[in-house]
Each structure stands twice: as C-alpha cells, then as structure tokens.
Structure 1
C-alpha cells in the first residue's frame, strides 16, 4: 500500500541539515540523509523529495523545520521560492523537545532529532506556517541591532560618568544628561575640569553643536566654568582627558548609528505600505516602535484569535496549583522579550500621560488593590489585544471602541 502523505523532519544546524522522511504509518520510506547548508544541498533535498513523491503516487509532502536560531530561514525561503508542492511548518524547538520526552527517548543525535520532528509532524499534523515577507525579517534584525546599540550606549554613558568623577567631579554632579549634543561637543574639546577652567573665551566660542553648528549659550559656558573652577579632580595634566574623549567619540558613533538605522527602518516600511503604520495612532507609541511591532507580529491572520497572539508573546498569566498549594500567578514570558519590552515602555508612556482607555484600565486595577506591576502587565496585554484588533480590521485606534 502506497503512503497517502509523506512527513519530512529536518533538524537544522549551522553547516548541515539532517533529513528524515516517514509515511502516515510512521515508517521510514528512505534512509535518513544529510544535506549541506548551500544551494547544492538545498537542490539535493528538492530532488530527493520529488523522487519520493513520484515513487509514491504524487502524494503530498509536509515538511517540518525546527526554528533553530536563524539558521532555518535560508532553507525555508529557498523551499518556498522553488516549489509550491511542499507544505512547510516552522516548529518551536520547545514543542519537539517536550514531545520527545513523552516518547521516552534515551539517545539524542541529529538523525534521531530529524526522525522525531517527522514523527511530530505525522502525529500532530500542525498547520503550515504563514509565509511572511522577508522585509519584516530585515526590519526585525535592524530593530534588534538598535536594541543592542541602546544597551551599549547606556553602558558607555555610565563609563563616561565614572570617568568624569576623576577628571571633573563637580561637572558630573551638575549635569544630569551627559548625552546631550552640547555637552558632548564641550567634552570632545575640553575633556577635563582643568581644560575648561583654563580655556580662553575664544576657545568656548569655537565650540559648535547640532546640525546648524549652533554656538554654546553664554549661560551654559558660565555654569561649566563655575563648576570646574577650583575642581578637586585628581587627574590633571597631559593625557588626563584622553579616556573621556574616546568615550565621547563612542557615544557619538552610537547616536549616529541609531539615527541611520531608524531611517532605514522607515524606508523599508514604505515598501510595504505607502501610509503611516496604523499603530502610530495609539497615544504613547512612537513611529519606530509601531514599525517594529508590525514586523514582529507579521501577518496578523496567522493568529486565529487574540488569545493566540497574547500567548505567542508570553503575556498570558500562568497559574501553578496542586492540592492546597497555589502559587502566585505570573506572566508566561515565553515570547519575544523585545516585544514585551516595547509594550512595557508604551504602557509606561501611556500611564505618564494619564489619559486614554488603557490608562483608565490600569488605574482601575490599581484602585481595586492590584500591585502596580500586575496592573502594568494587564495593561500590556490589553494593548496587545488592541493592536491585534487594529491590524486585523485595518482600522486606526479608536478610543470609543475600547
């Protein structure tokens, strides 16, 4: 009896992929094989799968790939572009890992992993993954790069503040925002209290900042000179400010890189839509955040209802209860942490504005006795459900519908 469907499991890794093919009776129809992570290897996979289809009455082929880092994406998009005969499903490795435990598997090798993925496909028969435009992946990668740069920028600012305690402690205490353009313009020219105190008026006048090369305000000059006169800094003399200047150049580089990446995100989004993101209509969400959230969500129709998208990003509460023991509920936190961070910051911005339905929902929970963090988590969930509804119905934010 010929198989009615072939199930393919692909264990993805960096340089190679292990492949196993089984039928609906969970029996191997061919010896497991390995393909290289290049065009030749991908073509070998297609040729073998086409040959198996011909030998088995042109039966449908369902392929499952584990979402191992980003290594699966080249193979996934190659298969999508080459043939419509295959049903592709990208599987969360957590699913296959826990499912393999239920099978009491004792060994773990790449060929066995591929077979387990094929068995998972045959038993669970998951829905095919909704294809997403690669532009969304590009925007996601840019946003992740922005997230890394923000952390590096914060760390560098902290190091700059520490260095200033050695060369200009009075200045470090007086200036709250070290990453302002005019303060950085001063520090790149006059990196120590000694240099500021001894600098002639002409030197201060030559310092410019911003796109329009604006001069420093006289009030700022007088404040800085007052702070640095009679400083107690122990680092003085030649070379005392070299570390400060290096840190300032690093901060300026990060700021320029952030600006450039944001511009690229906006241009890429214009290839998807010639209008502003619908999410920009939500008070408290910036343009950059709106574009990034759309990229992380992708095709909103892959989520059949709001509960699915809430669970996907880990904003659903989890309860652990057994007998008389019942632990405190908390967020699942199994989704993308960057998305949760963006929703958290958006909710904080909304709370500071003290207006809108999400703020009123948050305040109602706090007034009822809920802890503030619990109320923020609930507001994040409500915001995500609102975003889901907006994208699904293609409607801007409407306070009256909440």
Structure 2
C-alpha cells in the first residue's frame, strides 16, 4: 500500500518568498510555480521592511497567496518576521542546519546571497516548515536583558581566564578593573530583570512556579520564560526540549558505527546553555533529577552524557510545571 502524498506548504499558495537575512540587508527571491519571478535587495531596517511589503504587493504576492521562509540568523530575522506576520503573511523561521542539509540534498554548489534566497524559497514551498509566531510582548521584553546578562557572563569568564593567566602587575590590575565592571553590569541587569518580572503578574507567577523546582533560581526561570515562551506553543515536553536543542542526536549505522550521543544544535542555544549549571545543582538536590542521573551512572554513562540528560530532564520538569500551573511535585516526575 502506497503512502499518502505528503502535504506541502505550496498547497493553497501561489508564491513562495525566500529571504537570506543579513545584519544590514535582506536578499529576496520570489518563486511562482517553481520558477524565480523576481529578486531584489532591501535594507534590514524599518524602511527596508516597508519597502519589502510594498514590493510584494507590486508583484501581486498577497498574504493569502504567499508563504515566506527565512533562516534564523542571530535575531537579525526577528524584526522582518514580525512585520510580515503583522501583514498576515505565513512566515517560517528555520534552523540554518535544515537549509544546509536541504542544499546538500539538492546538490547546490553556488553559495551567494541571491542563490541562498532562491534555495530558501524552494525549501519553504516544498518542505512545509512550521509557521512562526511572535513571542508575547512581556516575554519578548524579558529576552533582551536576560540575553544581555548571558553575554556578560561569557565575557566575565573570558576576563577571569585572562586575569588568571596574567603575570604583569599592571595587566592584572587592568583585568581586575574590567572584571569588576562586568560584575557591576551583571548586577544591574539582574535588578532590571527582577523589576520586569515583578511588574507583570503572569510572568511573576510563571517564574514563581519555576523557582519551586530545586536547581532553578529566578535568573534561570527568567531565561526559561523568555526563551521558551508559552508552553502552549508545544505539544509535549519532548518537543520543547528539541526546540531548546536538548534532544540527543544518535549516530549509529549497522553494527560497527556507534558514535557518542550528542546534543542537537539550534541557532543560538541560549536556553540550552542556561540549563547547564542548574542541571549540575539539580543532580545533587533535586530528587527527580538525582534519581535519573544515578540510574544513568549505574548504566555506565559518561559524565557529560549524564549532565546533558539532566539538562533535558530539568527542562521537561520546567515545561510540566508551566503547563500544569502547579508547583513542583517530585512524585509527578519519576527518575526515569
């Protein structure tokens, strides 16, 4: 018995727009019936986004007839995705690895912005990527300070490493001063994050629920709420973990290839990185995560595999708490 034909994003759409997103510009390729019918480049700013909408209407590509696809590109895609979403276009923001894999499957050898835009348009038309939804306003506002804090934490680690390796006294003083300034900025951002949480009752309730989970403090809770968004976006905890880049990627073939499982990757991995230290704490003090980790250790799993699994388990618990609206109950999260 033959499989039913796969439903494509081209069903119901006459046009497919591919956007190659850059920091300062957007390369556009518009397809119809599989052929490129128009190309252009616009600035990646508000004026350019207005020009993009006008250009689409000039081509006759209305929201009801056009699907739009673009790669996630370090947040440079969010403003244009939001603008097109506001105009009622069906927008998909895709992991660059999917596009890269698709390019390989199509044997594409040309690597230019224009060729990339055309490829993204074809991908969006044929592969039916999930429609993008903008984050809620409060969650979106929370992303900016939490992301800035994460960036400063990375700078703090670098500054500390440089300080540890410095022997010249003047150089050490310079690194100490820089480290102190970074720490002050982190403290300022943490206060800003706490104020934003307190000002929004719904966000405050969500963070309070997450803080009932051993291993999850307020700053981690803020990242989970800001990056994960509403749990209603996901059908399951497994899907939320995949979104965060916490789904294991197995590498096996026949009887001879047995690669070590590794985490899948997402464009920025902020949520994945945010779970690392909380998972380390949870492996000691969270009964559900500790039991889970102990079982993996008994099976001979490597330390980093155990930590990765604990990160995933902890995010599953976060999702469950947010989805149910109830505080953490270890009996509902067995260590399996």
What does 1:62-211 correspond to in 2, within 5 Å?
62-81=67-86, 83-84=87-88, 86-133=89-136, 135-157=138-160, 160=163
Contact 2:249/2:264 (CA < 8 Å) preserved in 1? no
Distance 1:34 1:327 in 2: 46
Change (3 A) 1:341 1:91: closer
- 1:342 match: 274
Change (3 A) 1:103 1:12: same
- 2:181 match: 253
- 2:9 match: none
Gaps of 5+ in 2: 1-11
Identify the match of residue 386 of structure 1 among 294, 297, 317. Answer: 317
Deviation at 1:122, TM superposition (A): 1.2
Change (3 A) 1:242 1:344: closer
Distance 1:89 1:122 in 2: 11
Please report the RMSD computed on the Cα atoms of aligned residues, expressed in angstroms: 2.7
The count of corresponding residues between Structure 1 and Structure 2 is: 318
Gaps of 5+ in 1: 167-240
Deviation at 1:242, TM superposition (A): 5.5
Contact 2:206/2:322 (CA < 8 Å) preserved in 1? no
Change (3 A) 1:381 1:18: same
- 1:27 match: 35
- 2:232 match: 301
Structure 2 counterpart SS, 1:273: helix
Change (3 A) 1:161 1:31: closer
Distance 1:333 1:248 in 2: 37
Distance 1:341 1:332 in 2: 11
TM-score, with length taken from structure 2: 0.83
Change (3 A) 1:377 1:68: closer
Distance 1:381 1:343 in 2: 8
Structure 2 counterpart SS, 1:253: helix
My pick for the range that moved more, 148-157 or 296-305, is 148-157
Change (3 A) 1:365 1:62: same
Question: Of the two structures, which has the highest relative contact order with CA contacts closer than 8 Å and spacing of 6 or more?
Answer: 2
Q: Which has the larger radius of gyration?
A: 1
Is residue 6 of structure 1 aligned with residue 27 of structure 2?
A: no
Change (3 A) 1:91 1:157: closer
Distance 1:350 1:387 in 2: 12
Distance 2:161 2:249 in 1: 36
Distance 1:243 1:12 in 2: 40
Structure 1 counterpart SS, 2:284: helix
- The superposition leaves residues 53-74 of structure 1 with CA deviations (integer Å, 9 ceiling, x where unpaired) of 47x8x84321112212222122
- 2:307 match: 376
TM-score, with length taken from structure 1: 0.70
Deviation at 1:128, TM superposition (A): 1.0
Structure 2 counterpart SS, 1:21: strand
Is residue 41 of structure 1 aligned with residue 44 of structure 2?
A: no
Is residue 286 of structure 1 aligned with residue 217 of structure 2?
A: yes
Distance 1:122 1:162 in 2: 53
Distance 1:350 1:59 in 2: 48
Distance 1:395 1:373 in 2: 31
What does 1:198-277 correspond to in 2, within 5 Å?
245-269=173-197, 270-271=199-200, 273-275=203-205, 277=207
Structure 1 counterpart SS, 2:205: coil
Contact 1:314/1:331 (CA < 8 Å) preserved in 2? no
Change (3 A) 1:34 1:357: same
